[in-house]
Amino acid sequence: MSAKRSKSSKKASFGGGRGRELDAYLQQSQRPLVILAYLMPFVLLYEMGARFYRVDVVAYSLFRELPAWFGIYGRGVPAALLILTLLIWHLAISDRWHVQIRTLIWMLLESAVLALPVLAIAILCHRYIPAAASSHQPAAALWSISLGAGVYEELMFRFYGCGLLRLIAENSLRLKPLACTIAVVLVSSVLFSLYHYLQEPFSIFTFVFRTVAGAYFATLFIYRGLGITAGSHAIYDLIVVTLGQL
């Protein structure tokens, strides 16, 4: 009888340990310093590719142009803005200066898994809605754009955009929590879709797909934070570019 109890207690302890590890990871992956460490390789690779191929993501260009109104110029302004945003957040919550490498590895794997539903959405849209014309840029240039889009579009529309919309919905419109979340997801998704037509002609395929994908990323941001959302966005784009070269 005692042996059976010992075995059952070991199983409970093992299960509890795994649960605690998962909870710890979910918390670690949403810490600002961890997010910064996770996104920095994306930022550096984008900067190298963008300079070599002379391409830029629209969101990146906007992050350069807006500070220029206040006399702040430079190629590195968007990256500096990302770094400062996360460091200020880090300091504001008095978080510890520690990042585990295994957390970053798990974040990359999670981002890859969470990119797959967006791929499924794209396949479904392609099946029922005519697709837009594909790009003729080199694959490496498109890979660079993919990384930049993942970081800077999510920073703009999810971190800043959803934050601002939630502030308006809660304080000005006085919406209840559920209604507030739905409004933030829908409005940010439509804005995310429309933003792409600053540099390309309108297409029903891209509009529908980007609105649905935007809703997915907004929901992902609410539950998993900036790092996982930006990583999933970038990896989805990388998958699409790679498949397009086959």
Please give the average per-residue pLDDT across 226-237, as a whole number. Answer: 97
Average pLDDT, the chain: 89
Single pTM value for the model: 0.89
In the numeric block, the tokens 């920073």 are attached to 155
Residue that is written with structure tokens 């005519």 in the block: 130
Whole-angstrom Cα distance, residue 34 to residue 97?
A: 9
Residue 9 predicted with pLDDT over 80? no
pLDDT reading at 79 higher than 80: yes
Please tell me whether residue 36 adopts helix, strand or coil conformation. Answer: helix
| Separation of alpha carbons 25 and 46, rounded Å | 27
Return d(Cα 185, Cα 188) in angstroms, integer: 5
Q: Residue 161: name the closest of 194, 191, 199 by CA.
A: 191
Which residue type occupies 190? V
Q: In this predicted model, what pLDDT tens digit does every residue of 146-168 receive, in sequence order?
A: 999 999 999 999 999 999 999 99
pLDDT at residue number 2: 47
* CA dist., res. 38 & res. 95, Å (int): 16
Whether the pLDDT of residue 33 is over 90: the answer is yes
